[in-house]
Chain A
């Protein structure tokens, strides 16, 4: 059914404005767009082919909006994801506090989804250390607790961005090699929910 073969679904999560779209832009197009903020509407999909240990892997990356409006629907974007990159803005402590929500949802609904915590906009810290709003060791402790990887990236300079996605792809390769032995069934993309009128009662 799919014209575009995707090996691993990767979802970008995190509050609006933390830098998810910029991260994808940097990784996929190796650029950083300046100009007025363009919030993502709904979600955007982009596929990226990469190679891991001589094997090609296509990542299907879902960049979500992160706005409350689409929260009730975010499941359709992360369902069946192999990896979730949960972003927070290193200069904004409130953005880290919201991580919890996403992590909980993933742990509850997507047990096979690996979690990558990503602190964004590290270039702003290079300019001025005092801008750091989220302590590295606190996040490290949290990451250990939820068995997540932790990265600090800058889409502006490109720092650590490729490393992040490379790690995601490598883990996928290793993880599926292991999973094939333990579990036969993959994700059924045609699996439907009861209705497309999603429940709007998330308040």
Chain B
């Protein structure tokens, strides 16, 4: 029903944030390779406006706007000098981390800990710096740490009943027995808080979203903000199955309700979400990646999708393996990237959508956590990964929506783009060598105004799963440094043993680059300049510049 569309809450709030929260232009210092781009003019910015709710990437999840959280608001107006000090501090952090960010306790967390008072520290202070390893041992420890790279996640009701456990309850319990005790005392504390415990070698992060408590026990070198961010995704995942309204209603009726009954069969979706977050930078970036394709083909697809509309449709999304092909939305309705990620996850977690046409209730919690939409999910053809997702407000409207799919396919055929579309599916990733910068290994570029990012295929030397996750871990670290609520940094350059890294965050875009360890800083700056030009040149291929509405 159309009226319900207007009941949404979150985008109205965050839509006002057209100027991003971290929009400090002081950050464009002289060493920046290109002058600051105003938001909306950066490469990848849509020419017809955005498709998504504007978000401040992951702060959007953890900030108080979302219901209260640990992160403090960024300190405004720091001058260049402060930045300079920060740069020194961060390179110190990084070199202390030249253990390649193994699971050992990181230095910067100590500062974060000092800056907040709502955390427990159970670990003996003395062992902290001793645990930073050096020299030769490092290699093995790195591998060891990766093998041990584990993150237990579990969800409890406030009455202490298990709701979800990542690795089976026994295992989760045995590794957290002591922690459970501390948890009890936390439960008395204020709602919607994020808290953490730092024990030797791992940290425990709690997120309370009444009536649920989410806990992660992590040996990763992720910041607690990042971990809390993942926990919130799990929370939203649960909401997407039940709605906030239903969840609360159930626990109001019966405090010790066993929610597993209602969530039965959804464990796979949640497991998949955790796996995906460890592999796919979309979650970290709070953005969507597009399937690269010729602009003409994409526009024809979007137009076909736009024409196959129906009154009850709010979003029409064509995707292939977690990459966006096209997204058409109802005028004035914006999708939140988190909701899109939940949809992507739902689709990638089940092969059941390959049979027939699915019609399933789904809540998009960032859009409206109170009600269900109905999603029509189907693959265009049996043997391709092209999946069409039509989100409707009317659960009785299946046949109308199903007819939209038929009309969409007809239009595609009529316009003769089916073939080109299938062709694009053959090359879902591009090689970084196309950029033509010799020491460039990999990068992630996000256009803030479009909420889209681009990234080449991860290639050698990041071949094994461990190496790939390690690279993502490095980006995670850079990202958390660049967005650290108490000490955000706009430019980071780090020279390491295995690679050199650069992060550049402006009000318009975010860029994370990985170079071979041989690059000099000057060369890196030059390379970034060249890279930005390349992205600009390729932008209509890599992004959706002409999003459509109906």
* B is a partner of A: yes
* Contact assessment for A2 and B399 in the assembled complex, using a CB-CB cutoff below 8 Å: yes
| B interface residues, how many (CB within 8 angstroms) | 49
Which residues, 33 to 52 on A, are CB-close (under 8 Å) to B? Answer: 38-46
Residues of chain B within 8 A (CB-CB) of A130 are: none
Residues of chain B within 8 A (CB-CB) of A182 are: none
Give chain A's interface residue range (CB within 8 Å of chain B): 35 or more
Residues of chain B within 8 A (CB-CB) of A67 are: 264-265
* Contact assessment for B249 and A73 in the assembled complex, using a CB-CB cutoff below 8 Å: no
Q: Give A166-203 as 1s and 0s: 1 = Cβ < 8 Å from B's Cβ atoms.
A: 00000000000000000000000111110111101101
Nearest CB of chain A from residue B214's CB, rounded to whole Å: 19
Nearest CB of chain A from residue B211's CB, rounded to whole Å: 14
Checking B254, B262, B407 against A68 with a beta-carbon cut-off of 8 angstroms, the contacting residue is B262
Residues of chain A within 8 A (CB-CB) of B249 are: 200-201
* Contact assessment for B394 and A196 in the assembled complex, using a CB-CB cutoff below 8 Å: yes
Residues of chain B within 8 A (CB-CB) of A191 are: 396
* Contact assessment for B262 and A3 in the assembled complex, using a CB-CB cutoff below 8 Å: no
Which residues, 354 to 389 on B, are CB-close (under 8 Å) to A? Answer: 355-362, 370-375
* Contact assessment for A3 and B403 in the assembled complex, using a CB-CB cutoff below 8 Å: yes
Checking B242, B352, B362 against A39 with a beta-carbon cut-off of 8 angstroms, the contacting residue is B352
* Contact assessment for B250 and A203 in the assembled complex, using a CB-CB cutoff below 8 Å: yes
Instruction: Determine the residue in chain A with the shortest Cβ distance to B358.
Output: A44
- Whether a CB of chain B sits under 8 angstroms from the CB of A108 is no
* Contact assessment for B371 and A43 in the assembled complex, using a CB-CB cutoff below 8 Å: no
Instruction: Determine the residue in chain B with the shortest Cβ distance to A66.
Output: B265
Checking B264, B371, B374 against A69 with a beta-carbon cut-off of 8 angstroms, the contacting residue is B264
Residues of chain B within 8 A (CB-CB) of A42 are: 358-362, 375
- Whether a CB of chain A sits under 8 angstroms from the CB of B241 is yes
Nearest CB of chain B from residue A85's CB, rounded to whole Å: 15
- Whether a CB of chain A sits under 8 angstroms from the CB of B418 is no
Instruction: Determine the residue in chain B with the shortest Cβ distance to A70.
Output: B361
* Contact assessment for B396 and A76 in the assembled complex, using a CB-CB cutoff below 8 Å: yes
* Contact assessment for B398 and A45 in the assembled complex, using a CB-CB cutoff below 8 Å: yes
Residues of chain A within 8 A (CB-CB) of B360 are: 41-43
Checking A21, A196, A197, A200 against B355 with a beta-carbon cut-off of 8 angstroms, the contacting residue is A21
* Contact assessment for A1 and B262 in the assembled complex, using a CB-CB cutoff below 8 Å: no
- Whether a CB of chain B sits under 8 angstroms from the CB of A84 is no
Residues of chain B within 8 A (CB-CB) of A97 are: none
- Whether a CB of chain A sits under 8 angstroms from the CB of B431 is no
- Whether a CB of chain B sits under 8 angstroms from the CB of A63 is yes
Residues of chain A within 8 A (CB-CB) of B246 are: 200
* Contact assessment for B241 and A69 in the assembled complex, using a CB-CB cutoff below 8 Å: yes
- Whether a CB of chain A sits under 8 angstroms from the CB of B263 is yes
Give Cα A74 to B245, complex, Å: 19
* Contact assessment for B241 and A44 in the assembled complex, using a CB-CB cutoff below 8 Å: no
Instruction: Determine the residue in chain A with the shortest Cβ distance to B362.
Output: A42
- Whether a CB of chain A sits under 8 angstroms from the CB of B266 is yes
- Whether a CB of chain B sits under 8 angstroms from the CB of A87 is no
Q: A69-B262, A69-B266, A196-B374 are in contact. Are A38 and B350 (CB under 8 A)?
A: yes
* Contact assessment for A4 and B371 in the assembled complex, using a CB-CB cutoff below 8 Å: no
Residues of chain A within 8 A (CB-CB) of B346 are: 41
* Contact assessment for B265 and A1 in the assembled complex, using a CB-CB cutoff below 8 Å: no
Give Cα A101 to B1, complex, Å: 30
Checking B261, B375, B395, B399 against A196 with a beta-carbon cut-off of 8 angstroms, the contacting residue is B395
Instruction: Determine the residue in chain B with the shortest Cβ distance to A43.
Output: B359
Residues of chain B within 8 A (CB-CB) of A16 are: 264-265
**Extra contacts besides A200-B249, A203-B250 (10): CB < 8 Å:** A4-B403, A39-B350, A40-B358, A41-B350, A45-B358, A73-B372, A189-B399, A192-B1, A196-B373, A200-B243
Q: Show the binding face of B for A, using Cβ within 8 Å.
A: 1, 4, 241-243, 245-246, 249-250, 253-254, 257, 261-266, 268, 346, 350-353, 355-362, 370-375, 393-396, 398-400, 402-403, 406-407
Ranked 10 nearest A-B pairs via Cβ? A42-B360, A46-B356, A200-B246, A3-B403, A39-B265, A2-B399, A44-B356, A197-B371, A38-B352, A3-B406
14 pairs from A and B in contact (CB 8 Å cutoff): A1-B399, A16-B265, A42-B360, A42-B361, A44-B352, A63-B356, A65-B265, A73-B361, A73-B372, A196-B1, A196-B393, A197-B245, A200-B245, A200-B249
Q: Show the binding face of A for B, using Cβ within 8 Å.
A: 1-4, 6, 16, 21, 24-25, 28, 38-46, 63, 65, 67-70, 73, 76, 189-193, 195-198, 200-201, 203
